[in-house]
Each structure stands twice: as C-alpha cells, then as structure tokens.
C-alpha cells in the first residue's frame, strides 16, 4: 500500500471486511460512500462475503471513516491466517446468536399466533378463549409476549432500522421496524385506549408484529448458515498451510510459527511433513507430492536447486531449503486470495440488480403509504384496520435481501464447490461466461492449459 505516487497508486487495492450490512440497499450505500472518498477509482461491495474491495490511492483510514459515516463498521484486512480465523469465529458467534434469538422469538410467538389466529383455523377456539381467560385478557397476554419478542430478540431491527430511517437512508431493518411497530402501535391503542378508534375497528394485530420479527430472524439465520457453508472451501485451503516451521537460526534448530519465517531462512523438512513456505532446495534429496497444486498424482523428484511449494507434502527423504516466498507471497496464499477475489467479485448482471435494489426500500415505503391512503379512502369498513394491515403487508413482503444475495451467493457456492473439486476460478465472471461453453479440454492431470 506504500507504493510511490504515480501509476502504482492507481492500481492499489484495499480489501475491508464490512459489518452491519443486511440487504442490497446497504451495499449500494457503502459503495456510494467509498466512491465519494478522494482518490478512489472503483469500489465493489459484496453482501455475501461482507467485503469491500477498493481500488485507487485512498488510504485505509479514510475508507474506514467513510464506511463508519454511512452507518457500518469496517477494519483493514491483513490476509493472515489469524485474521481469517477471527472472521470465521465472528461469523460462528453471529450464527449462534441468531439461532438463540430465533428460538426465543419462536417460543414467544407461537402462543400469540394460536390465540389470535387459532379461531380462523380451529372451530370454537374463539368461544373457548372467551369462556376461559376472556378476550381482553387474551389481548393482555398477547401484548406481553409480543413486547418480549420485539424488544429482546427483535431489538436489532429497531437499533439499526430506525436510525437509518431518520437519516433518510432506509434499509431492510427499517422495513421490518416500521411494519412491526405499525401493527404493534395500533394494537396497543385497541388494547388500552379502544375509545380512540372508530366503531368496528377495535382489533389487535400483535401476531402480525411478532410473526414478522420471527420470520425475518429465521431468514437471517438461514442466510448466515448459507454464508458459512459457502466459505468452507476457503477454510479447507487455509487448513492446508503448515502451522510451524523448523528453522536454522544462530547455529540452532528452532520450531517457530510459520508466520515468523522470513525470506532467506533455511528451513528443514523431515519425511511426511508438509512444506511450510515456498523455497529452493539447498541440501538433500526427496520426492514431493505436489498434487494439490498440479493435479499430478506422481511425486516429483527434488534435488538441490529445485523449487518447492508451500503446503505440498514431502515423501521419504529429508532436505533443507532456502525460503523465497513467505506469508501472502506463497503460491497457496495467492490461490486462497484468488478464490476469495472470485467469490467477492460481481457478475455483469449483479450491477443491474444493485441499481434496482438501491432505490427498492424507499420505493416500497412510498407504495406502503399510498396503499394505506387508498384503503382509508376507498376501502370497506373498518377502513382503518384494512389500511393498516395492507400497508404493513406491503412493507414486510418486500424483502430485497433475496435480490441482493442471490447472485453473490451463487458465485460463492460455485467457486467454493469448484475449489473443493480442484477447479479454481480466477474471476467470478468466468462462471457467467461458462454457460456458453460447449467443449472443455483437459490434459491427463485434469489441468486446463492454453494452446
């Protein structure tokens, strides 16, 4: 990132993990904020990988500040195994939290749903409730349970959605917040101040508010699981890296973490061990299994002067080699980076989807308001009740998450599954172009070559 001013600056690339994005309108907002930073030539944000890839001369601190100003969190990425492990740990924690919140919301919502909607499904349920606990007490119970659903597991939607709405940049959380609060607020009035409502409109919609929150939590949980599965290929590639290296330092043999190996170090490798970094043989002879790189199952003979690749497996002989590429410069690190970049890239069709979804949430809120006015003006009695229910329905069914996630998730699944089977895509765009391929020719090792 410290290239001199000039041509190198224009091609510098910074990758930032972005937290807090929930829908495609978030993607558009982060991209817009990044592109407004002086020196940025291009910015691509991927919802599925939750990463922003920025090209240009801007420094990481300016980019992080721009993302924070847009209402999201970011931090520079160092492409190290520890950083990847930290991201994986955070995603696992997020999935566990979503599972806990969904389970609690479901347990609290089920009685509300049965009390209010059971009468529509089970004959005599309405009379049974009236004859036992009473309709008003049923409403009090629904109020308590729905309040717990909304403000314990569902609090995330209001903490993020309402500030975004007040900033004039509504997102998916804003849709959930406005829809559920509208149903909840109307029900509160019907429960505790029914005299304020016109005759015939005193009804409660607690189940709508509770079910909204529970279903969106379920969607978020499934989304988190899909993201976790699609990044498993990267985890497996990272798992191929050796964790330690045996080095000659100051006349002694020491075992150190592979991150501490520097170019020029002499590294010893024993039979059956995985080679920690890339290098050049200086002592000994052996055969090395390089199938994970070349696809060739036959071990390759190595003598002094031969090059060895990190993560390949030494066979029967012992040897020493001089490290020539370490850290992010090794072949395996470049393969991992290439797969990550392919997973994070956008297909040509995704640009069109992003343009649509950027304006999707505000458009939905306008349609919901018009729906409410139309039912109030022309709807049958009780018009207010119908107006509320239909406006809330418009807000809730219009989830742009699917549009924003469909394409990037398909890229992650395709590139991830390909990496598991030994097929590496350098660009996500290759997936879209592959649909036009009629013949694929490979050599005996399964390697695709030019010519």
| Residues assigned a catalytic role | 443
| Nearest-angstrom CA–CA distance, 247 and 410 | 43
Asked whether the bond before 382 is cis by omega within 30 degrees of 0, the reply is: yes
Give the distance, in angstroms, between the CA of residue 401 and the centroid of all CA atoms in the same chain. 11
Closest to 214 in 3D by CA, of 165, 163, 146, 143: 146
| Nearest-angstrom CA–CA distance, 402 and 48 | 11
Angle, to 10 degrees, between the axis of helix 383-397 and the axis of helix 172-192? 160
Q: Decide: 13 and 42 in contact? Cβ < 8 Å.
A: no
Classify the C-alpha dihedral 439-444-447-450 as positive or negative: negative
Q: Decide: 170 and 361 in contact? Cβ < 8 Å.
A: yes
Structure tokens at 92: 């696992």
| Nearest-angstrom CA–CA distance, 122 and 65 | 56
Could you count the other beta carbons within 10 Å of the beta carbon of residue 169? 18
For 426, phi then psi, to 5°, come to -80, -30
Closest to 401 in 3D by CA, of 21, 19, 24: 24
Closest to 442 in 3D by CA, of 416, 422, 419: 422
| Nearest-angstrom CA–CA distance, 279 and 325 | 6
Q: Decide: 109 and 145 in contact? Cβ < 8 Å.
A: yes
Give the distance, in angstroms, between the CA of residue 253 and the centroid of all CA atoms in the same chain. 43
| Nearest-angstrom CA–CA distance, 256 and 274 | 14
| Nearest-angstrom CA–CA distance, 230 and 275 | 27
Classify the C-alpha dihedral 350-355-358-361 as positive or negative: negative
């Amino acid at each position: 990132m410290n290239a001199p001013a000039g041509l190198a600056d224009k091609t510098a690339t910074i990758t930032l993990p972005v937290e807090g994005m929930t829908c495609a309108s978030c993607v558009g907002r982060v991209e817009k904020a990044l592109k407004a930073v002086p020196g940025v030539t291009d910015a691509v944000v991927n919802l599925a990988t939750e990463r922003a890839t920025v090209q240009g001369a801007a420094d990481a601190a300016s980019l992080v500040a721009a993302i924070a100003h847009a209402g999201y969190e970011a931090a520079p990425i160092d492409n190290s195994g520890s950083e990847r492990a930290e991201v994986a740990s955070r995603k696992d924690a997020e999935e566990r939290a979503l599972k806990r919140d969904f389970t609690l919301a479901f347990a609290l919502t089920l009685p509300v749903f049965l009390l209010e909607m059971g009468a529509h499904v089970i004959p005599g349920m309405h009379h049974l409730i009236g004859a036992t606990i009473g309709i008003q007490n049923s409403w009090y119970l629904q109020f308590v349970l729905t309040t717990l659903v909304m403000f314990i597991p569902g609090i995330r939607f209001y903490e993020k959605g309402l500030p975004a709405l007040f900033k004039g940049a509504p997102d998916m959380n804003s849709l959930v917040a406005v829809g559920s609060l509208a149903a909840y607020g109307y029900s509160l009035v019907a429960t505790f101040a029914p005299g304020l409502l016109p005759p015939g409109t005193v009804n409660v919609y607690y189940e709508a508010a509770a079910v909204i929150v529970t279903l969106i939590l379920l969607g978020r949980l499934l989304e988190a699981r899909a993201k976790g599965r699609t990044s498993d290929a990267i985890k497996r590639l990272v798992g191929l890296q050796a964790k330690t290296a045996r080095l000659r330092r100051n006349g002694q043999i020491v075992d150190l973490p592979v991150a501490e190996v520097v170019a020029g170090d002499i590294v010893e490798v024993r039979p059956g061990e995985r080679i920690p970094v890339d290098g050049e043989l200086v002592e000994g002879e052996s055969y090395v299994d390089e199938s994970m790189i070349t696809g060739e199952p036959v071990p390759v003979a190595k003598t002094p002067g031969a090059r060895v690749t990190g993560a390949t497996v030494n066979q029967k002989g012992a040897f020493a080699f001089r490290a020539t590429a370490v850290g992010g410069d090794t072949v395996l690190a470049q393969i991992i980076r290439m797969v990550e970049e392919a997973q994070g890239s956008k297909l040509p069709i995704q640009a069109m989807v992003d343009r649509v979804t950027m304006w999707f949430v505000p458009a939905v809120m306008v349609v919901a308001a018009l729906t409410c006015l139309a039912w109030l003006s022309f709807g049958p009695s009780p018009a207010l009740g119908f107006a509320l229910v239909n406006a809330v329905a418009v807000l809730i069914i219009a989830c742009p998450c699917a549009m924003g996630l469909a394409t990037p998730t398909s890229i992650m699944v395709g590139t991830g599954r390909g990496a598991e089977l030994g097929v590496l895509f350098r660009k996500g765009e290759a997936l879209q172009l592959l649909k036009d391929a009629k013949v694929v020719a490979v050599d005996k090792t399964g390697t695709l070559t030019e010519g």
